[in-house]
Amino acid sequence: MTENMVEGMILLDEDMTVLSVNKSALKILGNSFDPTEHTKINHMTNDQQIIGLLEEAKESGAAKGIITEKSRFYRTFANKVYSENTLDFGIIIFFVDVTEEIQSEQIRRDFSANVSHELKTPLTTIKGFGELLENGIFTKEEDVKKYGGMIYRESERLLYLINDIIRLSQIEEQEHVLNDKIDLLKTAHDVEEILRHKADNREVTMTIEGEPVQIYGNQSYITELFLNLMDNAIKYNHEGGSLKVTVGIEDGKAFAVFSDTGIGISDEHQSRIFERFYRVDKSRSKKIGGTGLGLSIVKHIVAYHSGEISLESELEKGTTITVKLPFNEPETQQIEMNTDTEK
């Protein structure tokens, strides 16, 4: 039973000699164990958090804390256990993996802090200029028009932000079913038409390639996925650059590949690019607009459809994002989605 537990478990005697250790604990500590060697715990691990918990349990009878091993977090319990009718005792220590729980809590805290910041900035601007207008400080028509325009743009930014937050919430709450028959190639062409003016202004050439591919899903979400990815490829491209969208079928799944010749993303940022409000270059993002939620929405839409998303990028050479989606069957009831929203 102990050997097949997900939780790590180590049993020690009063001299801190390891009597028993299960597979999970060995995996956590990254060590091996031979019961004939009478190994001391400090020979198995030099982690001072673990040693400290054991010493505390030895003195007080129990101890607990959270330790970190190989980028994973473990809630750790150490308890003093007496042999029946004797003063002899041992110590048993359990490791429970709580990495996802801790990361989820951190994401929630970051999200709250980011939302507060993103809302505060435009609201402060609106309040400031509104107060100046109310007090009659701006009397010239051109000043009223100028600062009124600033109030309008900041309020529009607020509205975009709120709409994106609502959109994320809707996807997470799984309010829709996958019963729309979607032509991915047609969706790409439709979004191309929507973004044509923006691409022309930046002299970015858009190319759509591939074959008609039909899946079942949520048409609104898939359109938004294409819109976000193609819009980003235009916004973060060089003037005179290009964007190519390729649609097809591979290994029994539909795919859409979005390749641009833009500014690219460095390796250090690639693992976090789909996080909410994460921006590689905050000053550039603020200048060109956006809420910082677009790629997070894309990630959730892909998860909603039980798909996969991957990214390859190189600074100043461009970015390629690949989305793979199963064909699915028409749904008649609410689906269950296993997103790692808070992972």
Answer for the pair 298, 308: CB distance below 8 angstroms, yes or no. Answer: no
Tell me which amino acid residue 176 is: H
Q: How confident is the model over 117-128, as pLDDT tens digits?
A: 777 877 888 888
Sign of the torsion angle spanned by Cα atoms 323, 329, 333, 337: negative
Report the pLDDT value the prediction gives residue 2, as an integer from 0 to 100. 82
Report the pLDDT value the prediction gives residue 341, as an integer from 0 to 100. 43
* Burial category of 8 from C-beta neighbours within 10 Å (exposed 0-12, middle 13-18, buried 19 and up): buried
Report the pLDDT value the prediction gives residue 343, as an integer from 0 to 100. 39
- Please state, for a pLDDT cut of 90, what percent of the chain lies above it: 39
Q: d(Cα 81, Cα 101) in Å, to the nearest integer?
A: 29
Average pLDDT, rounded, for the chain: 84
Report the pLDDT value the prediction gives residue 134, as an integer from 0 to 100. 80
Report the pLDDT value the prediction gives residue 281, as an integer from 0 to 100. 61
Q: How confident is the model over 33-73, as pLDDT tens digits?
A: 777 778 888 888 888 888 899 999 988 889 999 988 888 89
φ and ψ at 36, to 5 degrees?
Answer: -80, -10
Q: Round the CA-based radius of gyration of the chain to a whole number and report it.
A: 28
pLDDT (tens place) for every residue of the chain, 343 residues total: 888 888 999 999 888 888 889 999 888 888 777 777 788 888 888 888 888 999 999 888 899 999 888 888 999 999 988 877 666 788 999 999 999 888 778 777 776 777 777 778 778 888 888 888 888 887 788 888 888 888 888 887 788 778 777 777 777 776 556 788 999 999 999 999 999 999 999 999 999 999 999 999 999 899 999 999 999 999 999 999 999 999 999 999 999 999 999 999 888 888 888 887 776 665 455 555 566 788 988 999 999 999 999 999 998 899 999 999 998 776 554 444 444 444 3
Answer for the pair 198, 231: CB distance below 8 angstroms, yes or no. Answer: yes
Where do the H-state alpha helices sit in 173-253?
A: 184-201, 219-235
Answer for the pair 233, 262: CB distance below 8 angstroms, yes or no. Answer: yes
Report the pLDDT value the prediction gives residue 288, as an integer from 0 to 100. 56
Q: d(Cα 263, Cα 236) in Å, to the nearest integer?
A: 6
Report the pLDDT value the prediction gives residue 279, as an integer from 0 to 100. 67
Strands 205-210 and 242-250: parallel
Per DSSP, the residues of 98-159 read: -HHHHHHHHHHHHHHHHHHHHHHHHHHHHHHHHHHHHTT---SHHHHHHHHHHHHHHHHHHH
Q: d(Cα 268, Cα 313) in Å, to the nearest integer?
A: 11
Of 167, 69, 157, nearest to 119 by C-alpha is: 157
User: 281 is written with which tokens?
Assistant: 């270059």
Classify residue 202 as left (phi > 0), alpha (psi -120 to 50) or beta.
alpha
Three-state SS for 80? strand
Q: d(Cα 306, Cα 62) in Å, to the nearest integer?
A: 44
